[in-house]
Amino acid sequence: MDRECGSDAGLPGRHLNHRSNVSVLARSVGNAFRNKVRTAAVVAVLAVAIGLALAMLVANQAVGAKVQELNASVGTVLTVNPAGGQGFEGGGEPLSTEQAATAASVPNVSAVVGTSSLRLRNATEAAAQAASGTPAGAGGQGGPGGQAAATLTTSLTAAVDAGTLGNRNQASGTTGSTGTTATQPARSLPITATGIGAEVDTTGKALTITEGTGLGDYTAESTNALLGTTLAEKNNLSVGSSFTINDQAYTVAGLFDAGTAFGNNAVYVTLPTAQTLAGLPDELSSMIVTVNSLENVDSTKTALQDALGADKADVTQGQNLETAVSSLGSVKNISFTAFIAALGTAGLIILLIMVMLVRERRREIGVLKAIGAPNRTIGLQFVLEALVLAALGSAVGAVIAAFASSGIASALISTNSTSTTAAGTAGRGMPGAMPGGGAGFPGGQGGPFGGASQLLTSVTASASPGIIAAGIAAVFGVAIIGALVPALLTARIRPIEVLRGE
């Protein structure tokens, strides 16, 4: 019986504590909206800071995921080019199938894929130029690794318009008898054709086939081909259609999407087919070497270079990948720094607002203390009020981040890639620049940035609920810290001094 009474005696205290907690929460929410104009202004400023912080966090996570994706997909790929063959003025000897066998025997090498580069000129245009005595032009003569690619005729028309730059590049180096540059008629761009020994592109990444199938056995001659989507659309071709290369009919087995207009102005055939078309059965333009793990890449690169000889081959870890990862790493650091700065700004805003509120409510705090309210309860009231403001700012900021994160990520990547490209150009003087669009780089992507621009522009920033939740949790943490200092100031307020002053 006594135990029951004792138990019942504790209930009123618990009910009082519960009512007190509810009262503190209700008072905190009410205080947050006491001055609606000021609350709206504070929430607006917080929303911008929190929205920027969340957008930067989303961009940071997206870039981090892209770096992991690149390392997982092509991070273990090494590219082998003829020694000294980079750029249209390069020299050296072509690679051979015998060297491909040597590369395959190097420890930790899991696959070796040879490529053979071709350039296809529209047959009608080539015939008209030949009849008029007009030279074919310099455009498109450089293949991957800097080898001169065989130029063949085709019934296909390039999907990319030459424009001013294409015509200027193709006319490069053509001079008249007086030494002045001759005016050249407009020409279409050449079409990149690559013979390859597996279903990958020239960077070692798996081909994205959108329609149809692959070429089956890539180690055997075939009259099937894969066309880029824009090239097929330009020529009104679909799976099952046919076209010609050097008067030989080829069937479209599938369509692929390389992600860029230049990349889709291309044809893939099997390696033996390209070697036969070029009349060079044992030669390779380049080799794509896949290492069994990311940890073994550096050691395998050294072993591969030693096995092939420094005077015979240049082994690189994909200039495109290194440039892309380096640039993405810079963007990741910038976005994280901006996230911390925006988060700190939000905390500072909350700190200043709460300090101002504490000063405004000195009399109210003195009265609460005079009637017995403990410092903890009064301080909690200000912390909860700060959290209410942070919650409102986070709700609006999350909406801002959802719409702005992709644009901010793209702007960061674009700005950083532009500065990286400019720095690389200034540092190297673009020794490998190719007329006709820079085909001397692997994958046909010109300039010092190469195909990395494609890798960078494919970064997608998505404001997932998990990332937003993590960002808002960080905001709430900063809000608590920002409100604690003003909350602690309430303990220094003495009721008698406040009431005497009133």
pLDDT tens profile 150-199 = 578 999 998 887 666 656 665 654 444 444 445 555 567 788 899 999 98
Q: Are 89 and 36 members of one domain?
A: no
Q: What is the DSSP string of 118-151?
A: EEEEEHHHHHHHHHHT----STT-B-GGGPBPEE
Whether 457 has a pLDDT exceeding 60, the answer reads no
Q: Are 312 and 193 members of one domain?
A: yes
Q: Are 353 and 260 members of one domain?
A: no
Look at the chain and report how many structural domains it folds into: 2
Q: Are 309 and 345 members of one domain?
A: no
The domain boundary, picked from 259, 285, 316, lies at 316
Between 159 and 448, whose confidence is greater?
159
Q: Does residue 12 form part of some domain?
A: no
Q: Are 344 and 487 members of one domain?
A: yes
Residue whose C-alpha is closest to residue 363's, from 498, 218, 205 = 498
* pLDDT score, position 21: 56
Q: Are 279 and 376 members of one domain?
A: no
User: Among 1-10, 106-115, 143-152, 323-332, which stretch is predicted with the lowest mean pLDDT?
Assistant: 1-10
Q: Does residue 322 form part of some domain?
A: no
Q: Is 269 exposed, middle or buried (0-12, 13-18, 19+ CB in 10 A)?
A: buried
Q: What's the CA angle centered on 257, arms 254 and 262, to 5 degrees?
A: 120
Give the mean model confidence (pLDDT) for residues 113-123: 89
Whether 24 has a pLDDT exceeding 80, the answer reads no
In which element (H, E) is residue 26 found? helix 2-32
Paired tokens of 179 = 């030494």
* pLDDT score, position 429: 38
Q: For 187-237, what is each residue's pLDDT tens digit?
A: 677 888 999 999 888 877 888 899 999 999 999 999 999 999 999 999 999
Q: For 323-381, what is each residue's pLDDT tens digit?
A: 666 777 777 888 888 889 988 998 898 888 888 887 887 777 777 777 777 777 777 88
Q: Are 58 and 91 members of one domain?
A: no
List the alpha helices (DSSP H) in 33-162: 36-74, 97-104, 123-132
Paired tokens of 449 = 């940035």
Kind of pairing, strands 209-212 and 283-284?
Answer: unpaired
Domain that includes residue 117, residue range = 77-316
* pLDDT score, position 4: 44
pLDDT exceeding 70 applies to what percent of the chain?
68
* pLDDT score, position 138: 44
Whether 143 has a pLDDT exceeding 60, the answer reads no
The domain boundary, picked from 263, 296, 316, lies at 316
Is the whole-model pTM more than 0.75?
Answer: no
Q: Are 215 and 129 members of one domain?
A: yes
Tell me how far apart the alpha carbons of residues 309 and 303 are, in angstroms, rounded to a whole number.
Answer: 10
Contact at 8 Å (CB) between 389 and 42?
yes
Whether 424 has a pLDDT exceeding 60, the answer reads no
- Which residues, in sequence order, are CB contacts of 388 under 8 Å at separation 6+? 28, 29, 32
Q: Does residue 428 form part of some domain?
A: yes
**3-state DSSP helix/strand/coil percent for the chain, to nearest 5?**
55, 15, 30
Tell me how far apart the alpha carbons of residues 38 and 36 are, in angstroms, rounded to a whole number.
Answer: 5
Contact at 8 Å (CB) between 401 and 58?
yes
Residue whose pair of structure tokens reads 């491909």 in the numeric block: 100
Q: Are 278 and 355 members of one domain?
A: no
Q: Are 340 and 295 members of one domain?
A: no
* Winning range, highest mean pLDDT, from 5-9, 65-69, 318-322: 65-69
Q: Are 380 and 475 members of one domain?
A: yes
* pLDDT score, position 240: 95
Contact at 8 Å (CB) between 490 and 358?
yes
* pLDDT score, position 139: 43
Whether 113 has a pLDDT exceeding 60, the answer reads yes
* pLDDT score, position 427: 41
